[in-house]
A and B are shown apart, each in its own frame.
Chain A
Amino acid sequence: MHAPVRALTATLAALTLSSCSLMGGSDPAEPSSSASDGTTGGTSGGTVVLATHESFHLPKKLVREFEEESGYTLEVRAAGDAGTLATKLSLTADNPIADAAFGIDNTFASRPLGEGAFASFSPTTTPPDEYALADGGDRLVPIDSASVCVNVDTDWFDREGLEPPQTLDDLTDPAYADLLVTPGASTSSPGMAFFLATVAQYGDDWPDYWTDLMANGAEVVDGWEDAYYGDFTAGAENGTRPIVVSYDSSPAFTVTDGRTTTAALLDTCFRQVEYAGVLAGADNPDGAEALIDWMLGDEVQSALPESMYVFPVMPGATVPDDWAEFAPQPTSPFEVAPDEIAANREQWLTEWTDVVSR
């Protein structure tokens, strides 16, 4: 009877020990409330907390440089997708979860703005006007942009001796029947962007376009990863569809032997711009402003493509050679005003779901 007792004690002891090491080790007592140290003193210092989505990433070296130069400690809370972030910020507008937020895009901007989540702020360097929000431009600062465009597997089209499509209209051409796969507007952010491109192009007639698209054998899947890695001929092992909704930068990732095997159709693009802002009621607003200024600086802007797969907004930033060569950006992407998106999103999605489920 001693054996089970001993074994149990040993197990419990092991569990307790290993867990103690976790609680002690992973988070060296550094609560965010210490941020107030910095603001009360009037000089820089303390912790600045950034709320963002799960795709956020910047090189550790750059973060260290920022901390050394500014005297702040950066704490990143990255979780959930852009919609989750927007909801989080909207729900906690009266007691913010961080000092600054990054990753609110133009399709979600009006919600947290409407809830009063952001304080007004003007950065020391001004990004180009073309990215500014018409409403809320005093609170949200553009940091990067990425356009969602229809991509084609040019190798596949070469092999088949077929001319690739060019426009949204082409996608309903029977010549391209059963070749398109797109993530859903209701479940995916690029899916939503593609849907908005069709709204911008066809206005109130978009349901007719989508009816034609579905009749022409378009496949609608859950997320971008399903479409690209599950169905796209250039992304999946046994994909069957050479037309996919992806990004303008995607062709830079299919480069072999000095040429890319895919192309983005630049007349089908909807531009997503990601913004940053200082949260209203932040513990450390000075730190938040310093952080956003840093994100507009040359180092971060030039690191954006490799770290987050997006284009910088500042004209002086450098982009990688592959990007410059193989991933041209659209010159006149489709646009839909954030307010219009917010006002119609639910009704559009309901109607869209009906059309694609038919």
Chain B
Amino acid sequence: MRRILALLLLAAGPVLVLGVLFVLPVTGMVAEGFVADGRFAPGAVLDVLARPRVHRVAWFTVWTSGVATVLSVVLGLPAAYALHRLALPGRAAVRAALLVPFVLPTVVVGVAFRQLLGEGGPLGALGLDGTPAAIVAGLVFFNVAVVVRTVGVAWESLDPRPGQAAAALGASPWQVLRTVTLPALRPAIVGAASIVFLFCATAFGIVLTLGGVRHATVETEIYLLTTTVFDLQAAAALSVLQIVVVVGLLALAARLRAVPDPTAQRTVTPVRAVRRSDAAVVAATGAVLAAMLVPVLTLVLGSLRVDGGWGLGNYRALSSTGDNQALLAPVTSALATSLRTAVDATWMALLVGVLVATIVTRRSHSRAERRVRSTLDGFFMLPLGVSAVTLGFGFLITLDRPPLDLRDSPLLVPMAQALVALPLVVRTLTPVLGGIDDRQRQAAASLGASPWRTLLTVDLPVTWKPMLAASGFAFAASLGEFGATSFLARDDSPTLPVVIFRLLGHPGAMNYGMALAASVVLAAATATAMLLVERLRVPGVGAF
């Protein structure tokens, strides 16, 4: 009992943060729908759930997200292995580049996809434009990086010796993978898959752009009902449905993640040279990369088109606000705003995320304790699965009075971005932290090490790289975040995605080209930042 109390005390800080920034706003907004004419009237909300359209929308969301998740995992696993375990030349650059889709504004990617798939595009003959297949392709494009990164980080620190032992005993590579490697990676794979699913299920821009008006998901429907139709009851009904499904999914994921003995020996394994037997994996990785490169290449080429010819005019135009004042701010200053906000969001997400990951992975001594930890674990994933529209409007109506008068605070944007980045940090760190044998800590303690020293000598060496990976991840997620940012951002200091969206909103030969050029700048900045983060390697960590 005392242990549980201590645990809850430790968790109080993060829980309070999430309570104020997430639970309160969402509850407030959902309550708007439940209260009609000043009275609590849940009947109307329940009626909405019986509408056939709601069923159609919910089913469509679940199956497209499910297919996209499976595809992301299947395509991401070989790449995770190749990029984190093999000494492939340029793998750091490729890993950094893989995060680029993550930050590209969905509108821009949507238009790029449509130029490929549309009637006049090179892939137009496939007739994919506006189909569910196009939506799934778009979702996979955005989410493969999540699998590569979360699983790759866990794979990197996985002890290769059990696999080698199995091989020495005559197991084929396939058997090693199936019986040794995959089971050890299960927490990471399930964690990555649940993040991807939540991202897909709440995807907004990409579904609208690629699906056209024919296909609605729960998220697009909530947006439509809230802002266009102002049917708050129906919006509340869908939000509740969304929350119920997400909670169910997280519970399932928690069960699947729990392995009988999560303790795998964690080391920092040096990458090994590429062998002939790796050909299939490397080829698969190459194919995934190529497929992801095509839309990006379309963007780059598009940004270099000027008046039917080629040139750098679009890039030059970015440095000022332009003659027609199409830009709110020069792209350089928007980029600076984006980077500063992302730094803030990153440290916030990292601070809370490390605490949460530590709390949920410590060894439980009773079933109740385990349950508390697992509930906390799921609780911090929730922000990914709940509509940004509901959350955004909820901010306005619940955080509007002292002592919680936050709606005008300049910190709201980084805080909202940190909420999105937090699950990424937690899911990257937990498989690794959970894999540390608690006996190592006990041994250190019994040899007289203080808790701090234990943390520094046992936990930190193993989690150092995952922490860098997690911060890079949070940074990229924050840079590319558009939903909450566009809702909360201020006019005097727009972020780069907001500027890009504005450029796309008006006719004019230059505007489209400039939007593409600004996207390329954003992508390049992200890739560079990721490369620098990857460089923050600690020499000598391998000696532990």
Question: Quick one: which of B474-493 are within 8 Å of A by CB?
Answer: 486-493
Contact, CB under 8 Å: A221 / B212: yes
Instruction: Choose from B115, B302, B340 the contact partner of A26 (Cβ within 8 Å).
Output: B340
A250 at the interface (CB under 8 A from B): yes
Residue of A22, A26, A32, A253 touching B508 (CB-CB under 8 A): A253
Residues of chain B contacted by A350 (CB below 8 angstroms): 53
Q: How far is the CA of A11 from the CA of B457 in the complex (A)?
A: 18
Question: If A80-B486, A226-B209 touch, does A56 touch B491 (CB 8 Å cutoff)?
Answer: yes
Contact A225 B111 (CB under 8 A): yes
> Are A237 and B343 within 8 A (Cβ)?
no
User: When chains A and B are docked, how far (Å) is the Cα of A76 from the Cα of B504?
Assistant: 21
Contact A54 B120 (CB under 8 A): no
Q: Are A4 and B541 in contact (CB under 8 A)?
A: yes
In the complex, the chain B residue whose C-beta lies closest to that of A229 is: B512
Residue of B nearest to A250 (CB): B507
Q: A1-B456, A7-B538, A91-B396 in contact; A224/B344 too (CB < 8 A)? A: no
A27 to B340, CA, bound (A): 13
Beta-carbon contacts under 8 Å, B445-460 to A? 456-457, 460
Cβ contact within 8 Å between A309 and B506: yes
The answer to whether the Cβ of A166 comes within 8 Å of any Cβ in the partner chain is no
Which of A83, A86, A224, A350 has the most chain B CB atoms closer than 10 A to its own CB? A83
**Within residues 8 to 59 of chain A, which ones have a CB less than 8 A from any CB in chain B?**
8, 11, 15-16, 18-19, 21-23, 26-27, 31-32, 54-57, 59
Which of B501, B502, B506, B509 neighbours the largest number of chain A CB atoms within 10 Å of its CB?
B506
Contact yes or no, A231 B119, CB < 8 A: yes
Query: Which chain B residues in 499-544 approach chain A with CB under 8 Å?
Result: 501-502, 504-509, 512, 536, 538-541, 544
Docked pose: A79 CA to B396 CA in angstroms:
13
Q: Which of A217-257 contact B (CB under 8 A)?
A: 220-226, 228-231, 235-241, 246-247, 250, 253-254
**Interface status of A313 (Cβ within 8 A of chain B):** no
Indicate if A349 sits at the interface (CB-CB under 8 A): yes
B341 within 8 A of A: yes
**Contact yes or no, A91 B227, CB < 8 A:** no
A325 contacts across to B, CB distance below 8 A:
none
CB neighbours (8 Å) of B507 from chain A are 228, 235, 246-247, 250, 253-254, 309
Instruction: Write the chain A residue with the least CB distance to B456.
Output: A5
**B92: A residues at CB distance < 8 A:** none
User: Do B512 and A235 touch (CB < 8 A)?
Assistant: yes
Contact (Cβ within 8 A) B410 A1: no
Q: Does B278 reach chain A (CB closer than 8 Å)?
A: no
In contact, A19 and B121 (Cβ under 8 angstroms): no
Closest residue to A342 on the B side, CB-wise? B230
B residues 403-419 in Cβ contact with A at 8 Å: 407-408, 410-411
| Cβ-defined contact, B397 with A91, below 8 A | yes
A87 to B408 CA separation, bound complex (whole angstroms): 17
Interface assignment of B118: CB less than 8 Å from any CB of chain A: yes
B-contact bits for A58-80, CB 8 A (1 contact / 0 none)? 01000000000000000011111
Within 8 A of A (CB), among B120-149: 120-121, 130
CA distance A230 to B337 in the complex (A): 29
Write out the residue numbers on chain B whose beta carbons fall within 8 Å of the beta carbon of A7: 536, 538
- Residues of A within 8 Å of B130, CB to CB, are 221
A261 to chain B, nearest CB (A): 11
State A268–B32 Cα separation when bound (angstroms).
39
CB pair B492–A91 under 8 Å, yes or no, is: no
Q: Is the CB of B456 within 8 A of A230?
A: no
* Size bin of chain B's contact surface: 35 or more
Residues of B within 8 A of A239 (CB): 120
Q: Are B115 and A186 in contact (CB under 8 A)?
A: no
**Once the chains are docked, how many angstroms separate the CA of A313 from the CA of B75?**
56
Interface pair B121/A238, CB less than 8 Å apart: yes
User: Is the CB of B346 closer than 8 A to any CB of chain A?
Assistant: yes
CB of B304 to closest CB in A, whole Å: 11
Within 8 A of A (CB), among B158-175: none
With contacts A223-B208, A231-B118 taken as known, whether A19 is within 8 angstroms of B343 at the C-beta atoms is: yes
Rounded to whole Å, the gap between the CB of B257 and the closest CB of chain A is 28
Quick check: A357 and B504 within 8 Å, CB to CB? no
Given A54-B502, A186-B224: A3 touches B491 (CB 8 Å cut-off): no
Known contacts being A8-B460, A54-B501, A226-B209, is A16 close to B396, with CB within 8 Å?
no
Q: Bound complex: CA of A5 vs CA of B332, how far in Å?
A: 34
Whether A26 lies near B456 (C-beta < 8 A) is no
CB pair B344 A22 closer than 8 Å: yes
Q: Does A356 contact B (CB under 8 A)?
A: yes
Closest B residue to A12 by CB, please name it: B347
Question: Is B539 touching A237 in the complex (CB atoms < 8 A)?
Answer: no
Q: Establish whether residues B505 and A57, one from each chain, have CB atoms under 8 Å apart when the complex forms.
A: no
The yes or no answer to B441 lying at the interface (CB within 8 A) is: no
Contact call B324/A306, Cβ cutoff below 8 A: yes
In the complex, which residues of chain A have a beta carbon less than 8 angstroms from the beta carbon of B498? 54
Residues of B close to A237: CB separation below 8 A:
115, 302, 305
With contacts A87-B230, A92-B396 taken as known, whether A220 is within 8 angstroms of B107 at the C-beta atoms is no
- A contact residues vs B (CB 8 Å cutoff): 1, 3-5, 7-8, 11, 15-16, 18-19, 21-23, 26-27, 31-32, 54-57, 59, 76-81, 83-84, 86-88, 90-92, 95, 97, 111, 184-187, 192, 220-226, 228-231, 235-241, 246-247, 250, 253-254, 306-307, 309, 345-346, 349-350, 353, 356-357
Beyond the given A4-B460, A26-B493, A230-B115, please list 12 additional residue pairs across the A-B interface where CB-CB is below 8 A. A8-B464, A19-B347, A22-B343, A22-B344, A26-B337, A54-B486, A57-B491, A91-B393, A92-B396, A97-B407, A225-B111, A253-B506
Please, could you name 16 A-B residue pairs with CB atoms under 8 Å apart, sorted by A? A3-B538, A21-B340, A23-B411, A31-B408, A76-B491, A80-B486, A86-B227, A87-B226, A88-B393, A95-B401, A186-B224, A221-B114, A222-B208, A238-B120, A239-B120, A353-B213
B residues engaging A (CB < 8 A)?
Answer: 32, 53, 107, 110-111, 114-115, 118-121, 130, 208-209, 211-214, 220, 224, 226-231, 302, 305, 324-325, 328, 337, 340-341, 343-344, 346-347, 393, 396-397, 400-401, 407-408, 410-411, 456-457, 460-461, 464, 486-493, 498, 501-502, 504-509, 512, 536, 538-541, 544
